[in-house]
């Protein structure tokens, strides 16, 4: 067989298109991001573009497409417009027969200051990939370049994505998941760099408040060390903390190599409030293992088009909540008395919720999409937070394991799961999670009452 015949007999596979996004914000006070998608090497008669309906870590369909306006497409070589239509609430289709390069323009209204949405005003720009960019079905694994065009030369960019060589305004995500997992902060934020275990860490702070950045960094370093000790090192090259100081906001969203935090700007001097903030830091940081790399099978690959159901959020969130306080104790930030006071408060809180007799934890996890984030007058009677109950079930598991096995604890369950599933990013099933707990506990704990 000659080489030419061999080539002909191979099925033709289209070459990967080059995907380049440009994000401009020429009038930041208008709260509108101007996004341009440029594709090269396109080979199909139609181009499908889909906007995620949710972002990983926040289990609610948020319909990000509702903020899109002025969608248009054209051929960048001839300048001629290309036809397009909408096939669903978050699905656009562009006619691309006979063209290899495509330019798509659209605007995204960004006026919601939370960790899982976009915010643009005269002082800064912040966005989440899932709330700003389309994915191309079939090409989710293609690399994506993102060029940021700030409105003023003094605005800087903070993100965990690496820059394209020689261009400090263009960043590269190896695939769409990575882009959706890498928020951007653009502006004149305070920027601090520090090392922990020889790895570079950054802290970007937007807004003014009563925090002492040096104290915050010192405490954060202790938290990072305590968590790294549990899991045996830090599984990233660089990590970024993005902090928004807001009026009364509160929230955190975990990512693989960064986290976004939103906290009241005057919540750093009062010891109790400051402790709550450090718990938030410890919580989001803990997630870089538990849920970002060590995750349930159902979250192994994300479906951005709809709800992703799992019964294990109690472990992803509840166990992380248990450790966010425990880590402050181990880091020497919290005294034993303070740790016990915090547990005591949470036990009282759980006992005051009648819904704990109605909704099991697995159901609370599964129905997060329609219940936890959509509270109403009946919520306390019919449901229980998988954060709160999951935290206290983790406490009970830890106590039970320690009681029966003096040299073991819940730490060993996490380490076993990390080695078995997390390091290789293999999703675990609910029976596998149960098995790992039983293996360390030396008994089947699923039926203990």
Stretch that binds Zn ion, among 154-162, 309-317, 333-341, 411-419 (CB under 5 A): 309-317
d(CA 150, CA 186): 7
Nearest to 291 by CA among 259, 313, 262, 261: 313
Angle of helix 388-404 versus helix 336-351 axis, rounded to 10: 120
Cβ of residue 219: shortest distance to Zn ion, in angstroms? 19
Nearest CB to Zn ion, comparing residues 304 and 387: 387
Cβ of residue 295: shortest distance to Zn ion, in angstroms? 12
CA torsion 392-398-399-401 (nearest 10°) is: 140
The 10 Å Cβ neighbour count of residue 427 is 16
d(CA 287, CA 290): 5
Cβ of residue 51: shortest distance to Zn ion, in angstroms? 24
Cβ of residue 57: shortest distance to Zn ion, in angstroms? 7
Nearest to 31 by CA among 107, 131, 90: 107
Count of positions on this chain that bind Zn ion (CB under 5 A) = 1
Distances (CA, A) of 360 to 47, 180, 337, 385: 44, 31, 31, 10
Cβ of residue 341: shortest distance to Zn ion, in angstroms? 22
Distances (CA, A) of 47 to 62, 229, 300, 346: 24, 47, 26, 51
Contact string 357-396 vs Zn ion (x = CB under 5 A): ----------------------------------------
> Distance of alpha carbon 401 from its chain centroid, rounded?
31
The 10 Å Cβ neighbour count of residue 27 is 12
Cβ of residue 97: shortest distance to Zn ion, in angstroms? 46
Nearest CB to Zn ion, comparing residues 219 and 317: 317
Nearest CB to Zn ion, comparing residues 57 and 150: 57
Cβ of residue 321: shortest distance to Zn ion, in angstroms? 7
Cβ of residue 255: shortest distance to Zn ion, in angstroms? 12
Count of all residues that appear for the chain in the document: 449
Closest residue to Zn ion using C-beta atoms: 317
Contact string 310-329 vs Zn ion (x = CB under 5 A): -------x------------
Lookup result for tokens 């928004």: 244
CB 70 within 8 A of CB 84: no
Nearest CB to Zn ion, comparing residues 31 and 283: 283
Nearest CB to Zn ion, comparing residues 118 and 320: 320
Nearest CB to Zn ion, comparing residues 177 and 317: 317
Nearest CB to Zn ion, comparing residues 21 and 314: 314
Dihedral pair phi/psi, residue 384, rounded to 5°: -135, 145
Determine the 3-state secondary structure of 150 from DSSP: coil
Nearest CB to Zn ion, comparing residues 21 and 386: 386
Nearest CB to Zn ion, comparing residues 73 and 223: 223
Task: Give the strand order in the sheet containing 239-246.
Answer: 190-196, 199-206, 239-246, 258-264, 251-254
Residues in 417-446 that interact with Zn ion by CB under 5 A: none
Nearest CB to Zn ion, comparing residues 31 and 255: 255
Determine the 3-state secondary structure of 267 from DSSP: coil
Cβ of residue 250: shortest distance to Zn ion, in angstroms? 13
CB 296 within 8 A of CB 428: yes
Cβ of residue 227: shortest distance to Zn ion, in angstroms? 14
d(CA 295, CA 426): 8
CB 325 within 8 A of CB 334: yes
The site for Zn ion (CB under 5 A) is made up of 317
């Amino acid at each position: 067989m000659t080489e030419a015949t061999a080539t002909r007999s191979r099925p033709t596979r289209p070459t990967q298109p080059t995907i380049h996004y440009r994000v401009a914000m020429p009038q930041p006070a208008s709260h509108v991001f101007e996004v341009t998608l440029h594709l090269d090497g396109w080979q199909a008669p139609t181009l499908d573009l889909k906007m995620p309906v949710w972002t990983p870590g926040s289990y609610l369909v948020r319909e990000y497409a509702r903020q899109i306006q002025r969608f248009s497409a054209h051929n960048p070589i001839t300048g001629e417009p290309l036809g397009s239509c909408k096939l669903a609430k978050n699905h656009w289709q562009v006619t691309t027969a006979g063209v290899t390069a495509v330019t798509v323009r659209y605007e995204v209204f960004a006026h919601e200051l939370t960790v899982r949405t976009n915010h643009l005003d005269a002082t800064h720009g912040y966005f989440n990939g899932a709330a700003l960019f389309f994915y191309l079905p079939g090409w989710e694994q293609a690399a994506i370049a993102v060029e940021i065009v700030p409105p003023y030369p003094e605005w800087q960019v903070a993100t965990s994505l690496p820059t394209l060589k020689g261009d400090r305004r263009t960043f590269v995500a190896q695939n769409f998941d990575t882009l959706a997992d890498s928020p951007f902060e653009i502006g004149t934020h305070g920027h601090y760099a520090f090392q922990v275990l020889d790895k570079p860490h950054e802290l970007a702070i937007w807004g003014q408040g009563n925090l002492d950045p040096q104290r915050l960094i010192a405490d954060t370093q202790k938290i990072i060390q305590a968590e790294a000790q549990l899991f045996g090192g830090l599984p990233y090259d660089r990590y970024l903390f993005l902090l928004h100081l807001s009026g009364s906001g509160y929230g955190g969203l975990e990512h693989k190599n960064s986290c976004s935090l939103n906290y009241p700007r005057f919540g750093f001097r009062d010891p109790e409030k400051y402790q709550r903030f450090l718990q938030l830091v410890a919580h989001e940081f803990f997630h870089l293992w538990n849920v970002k790399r060590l995750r349930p099978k159902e979250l192994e690959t994300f479906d951005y088009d709809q709800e992703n159901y799992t019964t294990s959020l109690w472990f992803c969130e509840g166990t992380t909540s248990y450790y966010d306080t425990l880590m402050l104790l181990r880091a020497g930030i919290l005294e034993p008395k303070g740790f016990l006071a915090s547990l005591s408060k949470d036990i009282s809180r759980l006992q005051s919720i009648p819904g704990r007799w109605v909704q099991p934890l697995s159901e609370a996890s599964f129905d997060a999409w329609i219940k936890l984030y959509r509270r109403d007058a009946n919520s306390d009677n019919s449901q229980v937070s998988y954060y709160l109950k999951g935290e206290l079930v983790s406490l009970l598991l830890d106590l039970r394991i320690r009681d029966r096995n003096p040299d073991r604890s819940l730490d060993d369950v996490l380490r076993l799961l990390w080695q078995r599933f997390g390091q290789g990013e293999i999703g675990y099933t609910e029976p596998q999670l149960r098995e790992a707990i039983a293996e360390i506990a030396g008994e089947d704990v699923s039926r203990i009452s």
